Amino acid sequence: MAVLRAEGLTVKQNGQTILNNISFRIEPGEQWAITGPSGSGKTTLLKTFAGRQFHTGHITIHEDNPAVKKKVVLVEQQHHFKNLSNTSNFYYQQRFNSQDAEDAITVEEDLRNAIAKNKAATEDLTELAELFDIKKLYTERLIQLSNGENKRLQIVKALLLNPALLLLDNPFTGLDVKSRQRLEEVLDKVGKKGIHIIMVTSVAHMPFFITNVFSLSTTGSYSTSAIKASEWNEAHEKSSSAFSFDHQLLKELTSGKKYPSFEYVVRMKNVNIQYDHKILDNINWEVRNGERWALSGPNGSGKSTLLSLVNADNPQAYANEIYLFDKRRGTGESIWDIKKKTGFVSPELHLYFEKGTNCFDVVASGLFDTIGLFRKINEQQSSLIIKWMQLLKIEHVRRKFLNQLSNSEQRLVLLARALVKNPPLLILDEPCQGLDDEQTALFKAIINEICITGDKSLIYVSHYTNEIPDCVTKFIRLENGKRVE
């Protein structure tokens, strides 16, 4: 009998059909992947299975014994947690401020709270902590974990609930190569213990243990029937995406604004950053004006901390010899003077905007380097914002709330925010995270042209070499907080 049976599922939001008459069934022993272009309703489908989304149609879990309530647990793409004050009012720079970061609970405390909800899971934790390699993280604050570390923690907490169905929303997003391989192997072991997995994942990251694939179209309906993974992989081996953008509009947007000249964007001499343990160890690095760098390294290697020094978000910069735009930190230049010259994107930046913030205001906030818009803008600025949104093909969402968008649409809005003031330095941390193949190709082409024709400096972080623009010619890699060649 079926593990899950969906019949005629339809989901509408604000008058728009997100999912349209979805029907399929999952049999015992099957592990499923859901794919589709950005905005096709993949995350919505997972939330529907988890009982978090109003829908029409029917869902039956474990129809062999429907009287038995089987747990369905969803692990979202983004982590959410409260601080010790029992609020979620974190600010972006908080993870780099050791005193304020202490308001976040530790991994061990978070797991203790999870066990309190299911006391039978105490023995399970020992096995899961070893399986997912999180024992060494017990003393770390949640806000200071890397993407990969947070992902492992969230899955452990989900498994402590002993689910029959484990729903995973893009679990490989933001993970380095080794972490992806390790997570894939661990999830395979989890599946063999009788837990059925349904995951949203991209074409590029189809785990070996997936048996069936279900594809959605942009209209929220089937683009293909549910098929075996082996057939699906063969059919998509040679798939490619076309893209285009308005080159004349890009030229218009990147010309005109001038900044004071400088020789070096970044100069670091023997930089050390330490909290409970050393995060960066004796880093020396120089970025000349116009250079384009790729920053790489495994999860937890110190990349985000290094970027926080360049983007003026880390107060420990004052205790080190760091020069930004030819001026040493601590000699009078404010963080706002630095941020005027940088455009910045990070994987978690959208979490710090108020829920009622519309996308136009999010992009506008990039003109002032604030998390939210707190001043009026003039007609010229308004026109500029709309043109950047048109270039990235998101002008149609400008009046929607940021938190109502798909992950990919949120990412493009934040990219427009980073570009809107045409800064001389772009700091892009996993900028293609959540984008589909076509959106990634579009963004890479735009960044490439911006950097080359506008002579921009670039610091670009990605775990995927195919996402790095062709304009990048220099590379720096971190491992355990040290620069390696």
Q: Which of 13-27, 196-210, 324-338, 466-480 has the highest mean pLDDT?
A: 466-480
Residue 290 φ then ψ, to 5°: 90, -5
pLDDT at res. 199:
95
90, pLDDT greater than 50: no
Domain residue ranges of the chain, discontinuous segments joined by +: 4-235, 247-484
For the cut 80, the answer to whether the pLDDT of residue 137 exceeds it is: yes
Give 228's pLDDT tier (boundaries 50, 70, 90): confident
Q: Which residue has the tokens 């190709």?
A: 441
Higher pLDDT, 354 or 416: 416
Q: What's the token pair of residue 106? A: 């530790």
Residue 462 gets which letter from DSSP? -
| 24 SS3 class | strand
Range in 91-95, 177-181, 331-335, 425-429 the model is least confident about:
91-95
Taking 90 as the threshold, does the pLDDT of residue 324 lie above it? yes
Return the pLDDT at 238. 46
- pLDDT surpasses 50 at 349: yes
The mean pLDDT of 70-86, rounded to a whole number, is 69
Residue reference for tokens 């604004």: 257
Average pLDDT of 418-437?
Answer: 89
DSSP code of 398? T
pLDDT in tens, 12-54: 987 888 898 998 889 998 999 998 888 788 999 999 999 999 9
Give strand pairing partners of 323. 267, 328
Q: Which two tokens stand for residue 15?
A: 């008058």
pLDDT on residue 61: 86
pLDDT at 141: 84
Contact criterion met (CB below 8 Å) for 105 and 141: yes
Q: How far apart are CA 1 and CA 65, in angstroms?
A: 9
- Asked whether the predicted pLDDT for residue 424 surpasses 80, the reply is yes
Whether the domain at 4-235 and the domain at 247-484 fall into the same CATH topology: yes
Q: How far apart are CA 230 and CA 11, in angstroms?
A: 30
pTM: 0.77
With a pLDDT cut of 90, the percent of the chain lying above it is 41
The tens digit of pLDDT for each residue in 110-132 reads: 888 888 766 656 668 888 888 88
Residue with tokens 């990605």: 462
What CATH number matches the domain at 4-235, 3.40.50.12280, 3.30.450.90, 3.30.540.10, 3.40.50.300? 3.40.50.300
**Structural Rg of the chain based on CA atoms:** 23
Cα 254 from chain centre:
27
pLDDT of residue 49: 93
Q: Whole-angstrom Cα distance, residue 225 to residue 233? A: 14
Higher pLDDT, 156 or 234: 156
Q: If one looks up domain 247-484 in CATH, what number appears?
A: 3.40.50.300
Write out the DSSP string of 332-392. S--HHHHHTTEEEE-TTGGGGS-TT-BHHHHHHHTTTT-SS--S---HHHHHHHHHHHHHT
